[in-house]
Amino acid sequence: MRDTDEPIRSRARALLKLPSATADIDTNDMDPGDFGRGERIFVAHCGQCHKSDETGNANFGPDLATIRHWPRQALLDKIKNPQRSIASGYEQWRITLTNGNSLDGVIAAETPTTVTMLTLTKAHTLRRDDIAKLTALPGSAMPAELDAAMSREDLIDLLSFLLHANAPR
Ligand code: HEC
């Protein structure tokens, strides 16, 4: 199912033609940021979906302990335009059930008889017999423009936390 839908998904993404992120931060010449404050910003803005090592317990999105090698600019771009590149295995799908209801989310597990979908609020394990259709959705399950609710200083501190730059020993 995933393989056959891939061309549709790529085409949908190409059509989006999103502008590049333009946060007002020079990532080559930037303050180190405040790690502790960054952790609080992470909990407030990212923590309902992500964890990072010992901080948080959400698993809707990937564990962000694995992104410490990312260039700062790539991270800022992801925060602004998540749909530009989607973490593999976290593509968004719509499951339409035979009773007409539908669920959007990330597919967490599949067995020969069931599909488990994570929505923001919970994991749903559905019987394949009850599924009428699985559709790949373009875009990310991560909301766009999360930087809009943050100041420049917030973003710099958040980067310090995410990249473990300037972390207390
Ligand atoms: C509503 C849930 C939600 C929120 C809030 C959210 N994310 Fe995400 N995030 C996701 C999902 C789902 C993915 C996987 C799909 C994707 O890559 O777009 C993801 C992916 C990512 C990735 C890519 C990880 C990888 O391994 O490729 C990064 C980096 C990231 N998020 C950072 C953040 C940061 C920083 C914040 C807070 C400013 C945040 N996210 C807030 C849901 C969320």
The runs of H, that is alpha helices, within 17-121 are: 35-45, 72-80
pTM: predicted TM-score of the whole model, two decimal places: 0.85
Contact 83, 138 (CB under 8 A): yes
Average pLDDT over residues 50-77: 90
- What is the dihedral sign for C-alpha 23, 27, 28, 32? positive
For ligand 1, whether the C-beta of 69 sits within 6 Å is no
- Model confidence over 28-38: pLDDT tens digits? 888 889 999 99
Contact 95, 83 (CB under 8 A): no
Question: What is the 129 CA–ligand 1 centroid distance (Å)?
Answer: 31
- Residue nearest to ligand 1 atom 26, measured at CA: 87
Hey, what domains does the chain have and what are their CATH numbers? 2-13+31-86+142-163 (2.60.40.420), 92-137 (2.30.30.100)
What type of residue is 20? S
- Of 75, 70, 76, 71, which Cα lies nearest the Cα of 23? 76
- Model confidence over 2-12: pLDDT tens digits? 444 545 554 55
Residues 6+ apart with CB under 8 A from 29: none
